Amino acid sequence: MPRPSRSLLPAAAAAGIAVALGVGVRVGLARQAAIARRRIGKPLGQEAPSADRVWRAGLGGAPLDLLLLGDSIAAGLGAAHRKETLGGRLAKGLARELDRPVRLRTGAVVGAESADLAGQIDALPPGYHADVAVIIVGGNDVTHRVPVPVAAGHLADAVRRLRADGTAVVVGTCPDLGALRAVPQPLRSIGSRASQQLATAQADRARAEGAGVVSLRRAVGPFFRIDPDGMFSLDRFHPSALGYRRTAEALLPVVRDAVTHGAGAAASGNRGPARGRRSRPGPTATAG
């Protein structure tokens, strides 16, 4: 019986080592993910404060309709009061900027992935039309390992549907999951790279469909890295009241321009604060 070639033995050994290392890495990352889940838990529950109402009704005139879609950031999980949610802060800020009331409707759902955007749109009341919609989604796609092209495609479909209805759209791209200190290394670095890849794809697809884009990684991400105690809520995963304030400040100029000039004029992802406001250094919101 012929003996195996000596030249094949090192290759076979190398392949075996590679497989063993791959298995070891997967096991290690799975353990780190379990550690992160235990650390984070669900101290905030699954329901964000309801902020749906007409904000600044005393300004008079027909309210502008603002719609929020996406995951727990868009829903406002982590805020203690409705005025502290992302929707509440955006509605108040937009009313102040435009000098007219703003009617907020939140279709976002805690735990949502990009694939859930279609259902959130379907769940809107018959005949409902938003003047402007803000979408923040992606963190759960990363943690659930949804392929980037698939997640970005679902986002593009949602933007296309809203734009076809005449709604201006602003997308806050996937936050930097590398800011989550409750997640151990190297899983945190892997999450950071994956969230950046998704954010880039989201920006490209959203702009192609006529949406304005804000890079949450660049606009508010540094704040979450520099001041995690202040920017994160109790679970160290979702934004606090301060985190939502910073996020709303980053989104507001682009949302305002989407309303006043059309979504295409608000396509910059790294614009400064509204005119007349002091510029702040740019840092990540998290997703859930």
Positions annotated as catalytic residues are 72, 235, 238
User: Which amino acid makes up residue 215?
Assistant: S
For residue 58, count CB atoms less than 10 angstroms from its CB and return exposed for 0-12, middle for 13-18, buried for 19 or more. Answer: exposed
| Residue carrying the six token digits 């697809």 | 205
Q: Are the C-beta atoms of 62 and 38 separated by less than 8 Å?
A: no
| Residues near 78 by beta carbon (within 8 Å), at least 6 away in sequence | 44, 48, 72, 232, 233, 234, 235, 238, 239, 240, 243, 244
Pick the closest to residue 215 from 142, 131, 282 (CA basis).
Answer: 282
Tell me the helices (H) and strands (E) count for the chain, helix number first: 11, 6
Q: How far apart are the first and last CA of the chain?
A: 60
| Residues near 157 by beta carbon (within 8 Å), at least 6 away in sequence | 117, 118
DSSP-derived 3-state class of residue 28: helix
